C-alpha cells in the first residue's frame, strides 16, 4: 500500500513539473515587441509572433525578442560643400523596425532587442549619406533651400534602411553653419540687402501703378465732364432753336390777323396796291404823259383840291363827329 501511494505521488509531482515546464515555455510578446521563433516546425527563417503567444519547445526551438520601439539618432558631422566651404551639419532622425513580418525577420537576427545597435548603425549610415549629398550642393543653396537637402538625404537613406528591416519615421536638419561663421553671415547680409532692394523696387512699382491709375481716373472724370458739357450745350441750343421757332410762328400768326386803319388787313392792302397798278396800266401812256407835262401851278391846284376833298371827307367820318 505504501508503494502505491509513493508511486501516485511521484506521478503527480512529475505532472506538475511538466505543466510548469510547459507554462514556462509559453512566450507572449509585449505591446512594442515581436517574437521570431525558429527551429522545428517554424520553417527556414522562422515565424513571427506579434500580439499573440506561443509555446517554445525546449532544445528544438528558440525565440528571439525584437524591439519595435522608435529610436532617435542625433547627427553631428562636418563636411565640405561643393564650393569648398566647410559646413557643420546637425540633425535628428527617428527610425524603428518595420511592422511587417518581412521587416521583422530582416531586423531580428541583426539587432534583436538591442536598440543601441540600431542607433549606432543608423547614425553611421545617415552621416555618410549626409556628407555625400552635401558634397553635391553649394553652401548658398543649402542655406537658401535647406529642405532640398533634407529631402535628398531622406530619400537616399530610406532605401538603405529598408534593406535592413528599418523604417525612417522622420528626418530633419536643425542647424547648418560654416566653420568660421563668416561666410553665412556675409551671405545673409547680402541676401538681406538684395531683398531690401527688391522690396524698394516693388514699392516704387506699386507707387507708379497707383499714380497711373489715379491719372487715368482723373482723365476719365474730365472726359465724362466734357461729354456732359457737350450734351448740355446741345440741349440748350435745341431749346433755343425751339423757342425761336415758336416766336417766329407766333409773329407770323399775328401778322396775318392785324388790321390796318382803312379797315382791311394785310391781304386787303395788297389787293388795293395790285388794283392801283392795274388801273395805271389801263390808263396807258397818255395819262402818264399828261400828268408829266403839268406845271407847278397845276400840281399845286390839284394838291389843294385833294386837301379840301380830304377835309370834306373827314367831317363825315365817324371819328370826327
Work out the percent of the chain whose per-residue pLDDT is above 70. Answer: 76
pLDDT value of position 219 = 92
The pLDDT tens digits for 200-258 are: 888 889 989 999 998 999 999 999 999 999 999 999 999 999 998 888 888 888 876 55
Query: What HEC string does the chain produce?
Result: CHHHHHHHHHHHHHHHHHHHHHHHCEECCCCCEEEEEEECCCCCCCEEECCCCEECCCCCEEEEEEECCCEEEEEEEEEECCCCCEEEEEEEEEEEECCCHHHHHHHHHHHCCCHHHHHHHHHHHHHHHHHHHHCCCCHHHHHHCHHHHHHHHHHHHHHHHHCCCEEEEEEEEEEEEECCCCHHHHHHHHHHHHHHHHHHHHHHHHHHHHHHHHHHHHHHHHHHHHHHHHHHHHHHHHHHHHHHHHHHHHHHHHHHHCCCCCCCCHHHHHHHHHHHHHHHHHHHHHHHHHHHCCCHHHHHHHHHHHHHHHHHHHHHCHHHC
Which of the two residues, 208 and 284, has the higher pLDDT score?
Answer: 208
pTM above 0.85, yes or no: no
pLDDT value of position 280 = 62
The pLDDT tens digits for 104-159 are: 888 888 888 888 888 998 899 999 999 999 999 988 888 888 899 999 999 999 98
How far is the first Cα of the chain from the last one, in angstroms, to the nearest whole number? 197
The pLDDT tens digits for 69-80 are: 888 998 888 889
The pLDDT tens digits for 10-49 are: 777 777 776 666 666 677 777 888 888 888 777 777 888 8
Q: What kind of architecture, by CATH, is found in domain 71-179?
A: 2-Layer Sandwich (3.30)
Amino acid at each position: 500500500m505504501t508503494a502505491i501511494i509513493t508511486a501516485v505521488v511521484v506521478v503527480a509531482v512529475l505532472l506538475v513539473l511538466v505543466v510548469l515546464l510547459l507554462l514556462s515555455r509559453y512566450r507572449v510578446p509585449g505591446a512594442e515587441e515581436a517574437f521570431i521563433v525558429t527551429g522545428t516546425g517554424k520553417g527556414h527563417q522562422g515565424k513571427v509572433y506579434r500580439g499573440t503567444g506561443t509555446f517554445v519547445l525546449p532544445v528544438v526551438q528558440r525565440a528571439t525578442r525584437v524591439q519595435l520601439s522608435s529610436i532617435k539618432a542625433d547627427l553631428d558631422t562636418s563636411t565640405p560643400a561643393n564650393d569648398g566651404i566647410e559646413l557643420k551639419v546637425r540633425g535628428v532622425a527617428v527610425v524603428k523596425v518595420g511592422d511587417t513580418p518581412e521587416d521583422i525577420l530582416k531586423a531580428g537576427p541583426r539587432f534583436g532587442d538591442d536598440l543601441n545597435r540600431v542607433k549606432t548603425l543608423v547614425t553611421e549610415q545617415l552621416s555618410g549619406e549626409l556628407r555625400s549629398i552635401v558634397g553635391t550642393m553649394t553652401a548658398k543653396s543649402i542655406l537658401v533651400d535647406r529642405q532640398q537637402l533634407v529631402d535628398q538625404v531622406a530619400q537616399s537613406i530610406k532605401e538603405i534602411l529598408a534593406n535592413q528591416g528599418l523604417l525612417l519615421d522622420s528626418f530633419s536638419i536643425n542647424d547648418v553653419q560654416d566653420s568660421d561663421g563668416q561666410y553665412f553671415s556675409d551671405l545673409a547680409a547680402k541676401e538681406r540687402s538684395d531683398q531690401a532692394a527688391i522690396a524698394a523696387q516693388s514699392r516704387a512699382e506699386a507707387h507708379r501703378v497707383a499714380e497711373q491709375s489715379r491719372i487715368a481716373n482723373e482723365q476719365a472724370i474730365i472726359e465724362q465732364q466734357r461729354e456732359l458739357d457737350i450734351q448740355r450745350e446741345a440741349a440748350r441750343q435745341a431749346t433755343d432753336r425751339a423757342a425761336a421757332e415758336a416766336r417766329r410762328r407766333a409773329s407770323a400768326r399775328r401778322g396775318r390777323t392785324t388790321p390796318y386803319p382803312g379797315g382791311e388787313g394785310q391781304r386787303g392792302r395788297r389787293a388795293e396796291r395790285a388794283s392801283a397798278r392795274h388801273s395805271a396800266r389801263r390808263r396807258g401812256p397818255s395819262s402818264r404823259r399828261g400828268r408829266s407835262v403839268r406845271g407847278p401851278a397845276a400840281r399845286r391846284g390839284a394838291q389843294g383840291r385833294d386837301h379840301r376833298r380830304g377835309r370834306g371827307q373827314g367831317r363825315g367820318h365817324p371819328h370826327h363827329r
